């Protein structure tokens, strides 16, 4: 992966993550905590693969988010002023260790500060 495509992936991740996480939060009870682990942009900028993870029902998350790929592609064009927006694909993150490290850290912080307790 070239430095330019890595930078493009980073920019897409940072700018589009809030929108994607908002879509995923509509199904919070089905997927639990959702995160975007990585964005990989193809050499010719025609595709952007968003690698996602969640606590439960991971195999259905990419299918669910794929419904919003067109909207996200339009947002990329508007937000970044790109001449051409890549086609968006969602895939399950294969880096399980990193995902579980993040989730365990979040759970640890939630327990420490009492964030997961119902009032």
**pLDDT on residue 89:** 96
Helix (H, G, I), strand (E, B) or coil at 41: strand
- Angle at the Cα of 86 (from 51 to 74), degrees rounded to 5? 100
Retrieve residue 47's tokens: 């595709």
pLDDT greater than 70 at residue 103: no
Instruction: Kindly list the domain boundaries of the chain, sorted by start residue.
Output: 3-113
Read off the pLDDT of residues 67-102 as tens digits, 9 standing for 90 and up: 999 999 998 888 877 778 899 999 998 765 555 566
Average pLDDT score, the chain = 84
pLDDT band, very low/low/confident/very high, at 47 (cuts 50, 70, 90): very high
Selecting from 3.30.300.20, 3.30.70.360, 3.60.20.30, 3.40.190.10, what CATH number does the domain 3-113 have? Answer: 3.30.300.20
Pairwise pLDDT comparison (25 vs 106), residue with the higher score: 25
Retrieve residue 35's tokens: 């995160």
Retrieve residue 52's tokens: 């996602």
């Amino acid at each position: 992966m070239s430095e330019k495509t890595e930078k493009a992936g980073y920019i897409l991740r940072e700018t589009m993550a809030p929108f994607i996480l908002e879509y995923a939060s509509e199904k919070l009870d089905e997927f639990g905590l959702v995160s975007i682990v990585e964005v990989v942009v193809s050499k010719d900028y025609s595709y952007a693969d968003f690698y996602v993870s969640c606590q439960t029902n991971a195999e259905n998350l990419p299918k669910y988010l794929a419904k919003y790929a067109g909207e996200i592609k339009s947002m990329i064009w508007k937000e970044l002023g790109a001449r051409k927006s890549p086609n968006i694909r969602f895939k399950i993150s294969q880096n399980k260790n990193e995902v579980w490290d993040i989730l365990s850290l979040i759970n640890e912080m939630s327990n420490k500060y009492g964030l997961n307790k119902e009032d």
